[in-house]
Amino acid sequence: MSALSRLLWIAWRVRSRLARQIRRTMFSGIATLDRTATLLETARVVNLAGSKAQVQVGAGTVVAGELLVFAHGGRITIGDWCYVGEGTRIWSAQSVTIGHRVLVSHGVNIHDCDSHPRDAAERHRHFRDLCESGHPRTLDSVANAAVVIEDDVWIGFNAIVLKGVRIGARSIIAAGSIVTRDVPADGIYIGKALAGRL
């Protein structure tokens, strides 16, 4: 390796480390991050609840997507050595718990709530409140239920995981699937149904 190539490589490494430290500092007031967790340039943490205990990211985990906790409640806990892909959105009004060594591909949506009321008039009032005064601190009319994703799960790109779902350890969720019910450990879920076991 030439001296110039080596110098450019060192400069790139220093820039990358500095960028990671800047992102860590930016998010340290709104999330609890293990010192070995990495937030990539595309990562976004939105903590409308305001307490950094509401968003926790474990050791060795890499986040390229968005983590959002609503003002009226919610908690996101991600274990060790996980990956959250670019364009993925994990939104919580109650609780999203992700175990260890979970791979969440790009473009995945994981939501523990409906985000808006089902009643049309109430939904309109909710929208107006959002526009006029920001996210409300209380919102009882939005359905929510905890999401639990156990250890060693792999969720393929563009999959959707909805409220109240538990995905068992070592399961695989195929790309583009919509998960609306529990998946047992070692399950293979394709489309909208359990397709088999590992």
**Amino acid identity of 186?**
D
Q: What is the pLDDT of residue 140?
A: 67
Give the predicted TM-score (pTM) of the model.
0.84
Catalytic residue among 72, 106, 111, 116: 116
Q: What is the pLDDT of residue 120?
A: 82
Q: Indicate if 116 belongs to the active site.
A: yes
DSSP conformational letter for 21: H
The full set of domain ranges for the chain reads: 30-197
Distance CA 124, CA 93 (A): 19
Distance CA 19, CA 59 (A): 19
- What average pLDDT values come out for the chain (198 residues) when binned by 10 residues? 71 61 63 93 92 95 96 92 98 96 98 82 77 70 90 98 97 97 96 81
CATH architecture of 30-197: 3 Solenoid (2.160)
